[in-house]
Structure 1
């Protein structure tokens, strides 16, 4: 763990001001306002259920001829300006951002990959946390499309011991209306995790921990963002196919989309080179002056709710595929997904705000955002190597360099809001408490 002397003064100030929000992020995620924290933030919004204006048009969108060309210098200058400002207001040592439109692609790195001052670089790997939920839910949809399961199957058909398991459907697990509590609500599990974040967990262990504090409400009668839901979907996938879910991620998603820099770590804490080190206020020994280096914390406790590792180019490719369904599912299945959003803005393993569909993720030391604009065929991805929120997180009059910046945001969400706003329609994050 770095000492306070290794933390640059500007970052030390940001870490200190953000300390009050560390309890929200826990060991990996903060749910929507009023919901229990989990392994990564879903970022639902108050958008109506019809968040995607024209699903058929979105599904039929064809890649622009200039998609892989550089964006114009004028556009890049504007995006760079807003990204640089947003990055400076955040609490992350470094960030990598990417924008892909029909007119071209732009990527850039800001800041440092570690507290020793190694520059952040485009192409560095980070843990993408709850973006993993979108990949997991996609495989469930693929299996439904193939007739190997039904979305209205109950979880009790596949996994025993879940309260209300005989009535909770797979869809309710995917859209967070099952009433199954996130295992991050289990105080005993959190105490054990924070005592040794390098320990390996089995999916069964975290499922049992979530079940022990369930149900939160009758199935279908509420919303609670829960990692347990998506871990359960991972076990369903393995039971239906008889295969390891990591292998299925590779053959069903990574390989077909040519995601050469995306991986499933399983029980390994190692990240592929090159990678950015992660910093967090989570854990028993972290302080605002000495955030914990969480790079080598084991991701196994998040399983299919948050394990995947990726880089910016692969995220841009995946974001568009998730929005259009192209390369992943057929048009009928994608239509179901793009019309699955509730009034809170969360659907089948996917969230929606202002027509932007995607997910955000917090996993101790890493914060990621990936969204696709269904109206303009534009993808925005952000990787950061800190999950510490800042801006509006306390009543301190010296909290921010911008008096109008009163929103408490994690660094990747702050950059997402800035970039989408410059592109025309700003993503609206949920309020944080």
Structure 2
């Protein structure tokens, strides 16, 4: 090879070596840490747990703040993970479909004959929340009961009664609404179809294959130690406390049995939440076809708001519900918020960026009426804007505060 061609080739190799690899994002860990510190200060957060990685390489793994007064929070502490389990339920559903156990589009009456309208509702519609069932936890009677006694344990049949399932919001498959009822029915159907307790099915089919060692349902309101404690003002209005009166109660052991089907009411750790972002976000347990079904954005342009339905809204670039997971821009996410806990995971499949966040709140984070905002979701989006800056997560659908069991599309 002539000397000039060799020089050009060497120069090209050198230039290529200086370019970021596909899927990698230039990042400054100091900038990420600064963003976390700013979020803790601005959001009035008691504790912040964060882990960020790109293509399997950690850029940041940190904790700031305290669990109990005088007790520093640690990355090993467990917290409630709420709606993250919706992604596990959808994964379980798709794996059972791959195994020939269930048909995604067959009526669920076979599994739920006692529930109205199941002769025209499918498992896919339950997983994607297009079945038309009202959200049981937005029933004012349920909210009042929860706020009177947040330690009460709820049974499935009690929750279904609040959904008034005999009357649908819309014909199945024609619209969308965030509905705990749909998730409850999905869990019940999967348990009956799988022939085993839901907790065992999730463990065998999803949690163990993902390598999650600290995620599970205890069957009670207990959280295995070490515990990240949470505090809340969500009941301020229900207790008719004036805004000027100081009020903050520990909410760590409020009973979360209303949030998800029994067997999927879970606690987790920062590292397991991060592993979930990578494994679920990357479709590690699914065939390509099943993964595409899970992250589909087919609802865009097909959903509308409905009078009297606070969780019926058009799907958009900023928020599209697939099967148990939300697409926001090019990112995949879930972002639970309830009982003084907030968390979020985000995953960018093309760049293999994973973000996991969990936070708890100080008294100053709550509004005078006891509402508060999902600061974990805000922090995920702030970090995502740095990784990479040209492809950030879009702003949240609407940064409305939430309170108690009526939080809606958040828990």
| Aligned counterpart for 2:265 among listed residues 307, 319, 325 | 307
| Change beyond 3 A, Cα 1:378–1:100 | same
Tell me how far apart the structure 2 counterparts of residues 348 and 123 of structure 1 sit (CA, whole Å): 29
> In the alignment, is the contact (CA less than 8 A) between 1:323 and 1:372 conserved in 2?
yes
Tell me how far apart the structure 2 counterparts of residues 153 and 83 of structure 1 sit (CA, whole Å): 46
Report the RMSD for the aligned CA atoms in angstroms: 2.7
Tell me how far apart the structure 1 counterparts of residues 331 and 192 of structure 2 sit (CA, whole Å): 33
| Change beyond 3 A, Cα 1:92–1:212 | farther
Tell me how far apart the structure 2 counterparts of residues 388 and 356 of structure 1 sit (CA, whole Å): 31
Q: Which of 1 and 2 has greater Rg?
A: 2
> In the alignment, is the contact (CA less than 8 A) between 1:185 and 1:213 conserved in 2?
no
SS in 1 for 2:52: strand
Structure 1 partner of 2:351? 376
Please list, as runs of the form range in 1=range in 2, the aligned pairs for 1:1-400 lying within 5 A after superposition: 75-102=28-55, 104-105=57-58, 106-114=60-68, 116-212=69-165, 214-266=167-219, 268-283=220-235, 284-285=238-239, 289-304=246-261, 307-326=265-284, 328-343=285-300, 344=315, 345-386=320-361
SS in 2 for 1:81: helix
Q: TM-score, normalised by structure 1?
A: 0.74
1:430 equivalent in alignment to 2:388: no
Tell me how far apart the structure 1 counterparts of residues 67 and 393 of structure 2 sit (CA, whole Å): 26
SS in 2 for 1:255: helix
Kindly state the Cα deviation for residue 171 of structure 1 after the two structures are TM-superposed. 1.2
> In the alignment, is the contact (CA less than 8 A) between 2:180 and 2:260 conserved in 1?
no
Tell me how far apart the structure 2 counterparts of residues 254 and 340 of structure 1 sit (CA, whole Å): 25
SS in 1 for 2:321: coil
Q: For structure 1, which runs of at least 5 residues remain unmatched after alignment?
A: 1-63, 395-407
Q: For structure 2, which runs of at least 5 residues remain unmatched after alignment?
A: 1-20, 301-314, 401-411
Tell me how far apart the structure 1 counterparts of residues 212 and 32 of structure 2 sit (CA, whole Å): 25
Structure 1 partner of 2:378? 414
Tell me how far apart the structure 2 counterparts of residues 158 and 416 of structure 1 sit (CA, whole Å): 38
Structure with the greater relative contact order (CA < 8 A, sep ≥ 6): 1 or 2? Answer: 1
Q: TM-score, normalised by structure 2?
A: 0.78
Tell me how far apart the structure 2 counterparts of residues 389 and 347 of structure 1 sit (CA, whole Å): 35
Kindly state the Cα deviation for residue 286 of structure 1 after the two structures are TM-superposed. 8.8
> In the alignment, is the contact (CA less than 8 A) between 2:297 and 2:327 conserved in 1?
no
Tell me how far apart the structure 1 counterparts of residues 56 and 251 of structure 2 sit (CA, whole Å): 38
Tell me how far apart the structure 2 counterparts of residues 110 and 370 of structure 1 sit (CA, whole Å): 18
SS in 2 for 1:184: helix
SS in 1 for 2:71: coil
Kindly state the Cα deviation for residue 361 of structure 1 after the two structures are TM-superposed. 0.6
Kindly state the Cα deviation for residue 390 of structure 1 after the two structures are TM-superposed. 5.9
Tell me how far apart the structure 2 counterparts of residues 426 and 286 of structure 1 sit (CA, whole Å): 41
Deviation string 1:206-235 (CA, Å, 9 cap, x unpaired) is 123213584112212221100111111100
> In the alignment, is the contact (CA less than 8 A) between 2:128 and 2:324 conserved in 1?
yes
> In the alignment, is the contact (CA less than 8 A) between 2:340 and 2:360 conserved in 1?
yes
| Change beyond 3 A, Cα 1:119–1:384 | same
> In the alignment, is the contact (CA less than 8 A) between 1:300 and 1:307 conserved in 2?
yes
> In the alignment, is the contact (CA less than 8 A) between 1:282 and 1:292 conserved in 2?
no
Kindly state the Cα deviation for residue 313 of structure 1 after the two structures are TM-superposed. 0.8
> In the alignment, is the contact (CA less than 8 A) between 1:281 and 1:291 conserved in 2?
yes
Q: Select between 249-258 and 130-139 the one with higher mean Cα deviation.
A: 249-258
Tell me how far apart the structure 1 counterparts of residues 258 and 363 of structure 2 sit (CA, whole Å): 20
> In the alignment, is the contact (CA less than 8 A) between 2:82 and 2:260 conserved in 1?
no
Tell me how far apart the structure 2 counterparts of residues 102 and 333 of structure 1 sit (CA, whole Å): 23
> In the alignment, is the contact (CA less than 8 A) between 1:389 and 1:410 conserved in 2?
no
> In the alignment, is the contact (CA less than 8 A) between 2:47 and 2:63 conserved in 1?
yes
